[in-house]
Amino acid sequence: MNTVSTVNTANTANTVRTPARTVGLDHAAIGADGWCRQARRYDSPNCDARPEGVAVELLVIHAISLPAGRFGGPHIADLFTNRLDFAFDPSFADLRGVTVSAHFLVRRDGAVLQFVSCNERAWHAGVSCFGGRDQCNDFSVGIEMEGSDHVAFSPAQYQSLAVLSVALGSRYPLAVLAGHEHIAPGRKTDPGPFFRWENLAESMLTCAGQSGFPPPAGGARLVVAHRLVAALCALINVNGCTRKK
């Protein structure tokens, strides 16, 4: 998903206020059923079975806000569960008939929501290709970060995303992490220029170390993948290339 507005306020009646206590993940585990017990569960109908014999090898990071650039409301969860009030904002008219979901959403305060079992295929990537393979939904887990192309992500979001990524690497043979912009170049730009891949890599190493156990193989591979993607993004910026929608 992509966002384009720089506005950073939500309608008062629909704002979920950040509590004083930390609500982000400090630990997580993915069960054999593909659900994270530490996340808030909101079942989405927008999913189906993965192709038989296809392993979960790719972790895709997205960014989303509804309405664009406004944070804290219920609209993302409503979109993923087909309950969006199209009359709330004129921009929602473009979403009529759209059936999408992600496996997880990480809120600005670090709270994590889960919509689809990781054992199933969520409809998050759209037309996509990675490593010469089309249809990334078949072999990926999708995580939406509440944010936009114009606003920095919060420390609580990096913390929760790191914990969740390490947990996913412990359950599945994840080997690669990419942004939506990397699997749909020219069509998508998220998670965007304000997403700091190096921050996520450092947070993942910290999370693995705090667990008291050696980093799981999947988690270790993901840390390397983070750094490779960060290096690639830095090279693109140095060369002055631009990434378009």
Peptide bond into 51 cis (omega under 30): no
* Phi, psi of 182, rounded to the nearest 5 degrees: -85, -25
User: Residue 144 to residues 46, 149, 151, 233: CA-CA distances in angstroms?
Assistant: 15, 13, 15, 19
Query: Of 147, 116, 121, 148, nearest to 135 (Cα)?
Result: 121
**Three-state SS annotation for 90-144:** HHHHHHCCCCCCCCEEECCCCCEEECCCCCEEECCCCCCEECCEECHHHHEEEEE
How far apart, in whole angstroms, are the C-alpha atoms of residue 45 and residue 66?
Answer: 20
CB 12 within 8 A of CB 201: no
Helical segments of the chain, H only: 75-80, 155-171, 180-183, 197-210, 217-238
CA angle, 51 then 52 then 58, to 5°: 55
Q: Determine contact, residues 129/136, Cβ cutoff 8 Å.
A: yes
Of 52, 57, 120, 144, which is the active-site residue?
A: 144
Task: Indicate if 144 belongs to the active site.
Answer: yes
Catalytic positions are: 144
